[in-house]
Structure 1
Amino acid sequence: MANSNQIASDPNFTVQTLDMEMNMNLDQEESTFDYSKRAQWLRAAVLGANDGLVSTASLMMGVGAVKQDIKAMILTGFAGLVAGACSMAIGEFVSVYSQLDIELAQIKRDKTRTINDGIGKQQPLELEAKETEKLPNPIQAAAASALAFSIGAMVPLLAAAFIKQYRVRVAAVAAAVTVALVFFGWAGSALGKAPWARATVRVTIGGWVAMAITFGLTKLIGSSGL
């Protein structure tokens, strides 16, 4: 009994016990957390960043296939960044606003069935805060998509901005894009607690295929004298 009392009163024993309890609580919270709740914003963020990276890099590679001038390559990348960010923002805004309209209409239909004064005359429908707090936000979605696209597009632009030699510049863009693709693939799977290896390989190969096709077709058309 004395030994057990001494152990219980030992500060080191108390700290170890608290650490074990905290780790068990964290493990339990992690196992019960619904990672599917992240799906919507995670999809928009990863898609936007990956799209900005791949589309801007592909445009720069395509122009670089026929024009070795750094100015032409940078201007093409910048134009792709601005146009892509605006397109992503507008597309996401329209899409999410359509979803918002559908969900609001469904909420009102549900309330129509339950709110009635018994005479057949419906009372004014007012949405409560708890009914609207989980609804999608079009402006937030548009801003997130534009920002994510811009972040992805900045990678090839920064990689090419300070390199005048053509072959080195193209190699630097390809290397930077590859590293970024690996990171985006890993980040998306890590945030969603999904297997990272397949996601990383899928994202990286997809980006390389897009750049290779753009480079090859632009080179072919440019060499034909069109």
Structure 2
Amino acid sequence: MEMAKKQNNLNEINKQLELAEVVDVERQQLEVVEVAVVDYSKRAQWLRAAVLGANDGLLSVASLMMGVGAFGSDVKIMMLTGIAGLVAGACSMALGEYVSVYAQYDIEVAQMKRERGGGGDGRRKSEEEEKKSQLPSPMKAAVASALAFAVGAAVPLVAAAFIQNYKVRLAAVVAASGVALIVFGGLGAYLGKAPLVKSSLRVLIGGLVAMGITFGLSKLVGSQF
């Protein structure tokens, strides 16, 4: 009888241990999922600035060059227009991103101060400083946006730089821009774990439509002068 009781107790302990192991495994899996989610959310800020900046640079400069090319075949004018668009756009992106992120930074810091109530012990102040260090940097965001814009804008400029034939030059700008749009769209989708083909096609179609509209309207306006 005593042996049977001990055996039952042993079985009960084993069951509890097995249950504890299952719970621990499930907890670890949940932690892995949480880490993955946090990692993707941390990517959001720099990914948005980089991908949107590159797309904006590419589309802005390519559309400008297509617009100028709609009523003029001079390669020098087209290149100067593209370079001016690159410089102006990069400065605009940097300033816009700097102001936007700085506004967000000020709001977050003000909220921290309200939560602390103007006082607090050393531990709370330390936690506040740690939270501040995790906030996005306005300067880094500005530099990243400007560089991304410049990288995107360089694509149509390089494509058109060494081509003298007017029609071939326009075709080269469209082709190079189309390939770059697919790459940028696919890169953003891959890093953000979004549908690859759908995202790439959306960016490509939108870009081609933008260039087509610019070319068409420029041709129409140019014919009136």
How far did residue 36 of structure 1 move?
A: 2.3
Q: Which residue of 2 aligns with 1:81?
A: 86
Identity within the alignment, %? 62
Q: Which residue of 1 aligns with 2:156?
A: 156
Q: Which residue of 1 aligns with 2:49?
A: 44
Is 1:222 the counterpart of 2:225? The answer is: no
Q: Cα 1:30–1:159, aligned 2, differ >3 Å: closer, same or farther?
A: farther
- Tell me if the contact between 2:112 and 2:128 (Cα under 8 Å) persists in the aligned partners: no
**TM-score, normalised to structure 1's length?**
0.80
How far did residue 111 of structure 1 move?
A: 0.8
Q: Which residue of 2 aligns with 1:188?
A: 188
**One-letter amino acid of the counterpart of residue 172, structure 1:** A
User: How many residues were matched structurally?
Assistant: 191
**One-letter amino acid of the counterpart of residue 177, structure 1:** S
Query: How do 1:67-146 and structure 2 match up within 5 A?
Result: 67-112=72-117, 115=120, 128-146=128-146
**One-letter amino acid of the counterpart of residue 110, structure 1:** E
How far did residue 33 of structure 1 move?
A: 1.1
**One-letter amino acid of the counterpart of residue 153, structure 1:** A
Partner SS for 1:33: helix
Is 1:60 the counterpart of 2:65? The answer is: yes
- d(CA) in 2 for partners of 1:93 and 1:113? 28
Q: Which residue of 1 aligns with 2:202?
A: 202
- d(CA) in 1 for partners of 2:59 and 2:188? 16
Whose helix proportion is higher, 1 or 2? 2
How far did residue 37 of structure 1 move?
A: 2.1
Larger displacement relative to structure 2 (35-44 or 186-195):
35-44
Q: Cα 1:127–1:31, aligned 2, differ >3 Å: closer, same or farther?
A: closer
- d(CA) in 1 for partners of 2:170 and 2:94? 29
Gaps of 5+ in 1: 1-27, 117-124
**TM-score, normalised to structure 2's length?**
0.80
| Deviation beyond 2 Å, 4+ runs, structure 1 | 28-32, 113-116, 125-129
Gaps of 5+ in 2: 1-30
Q: Which residue of 2 aligns with 1:18?
A: none
Is 1:33 the counterpart of 2:24? The answer is: no
Q: Deviations over 1:87-122 (max 9, x none)?
A: 000000011111111001000001117728xxxxxx
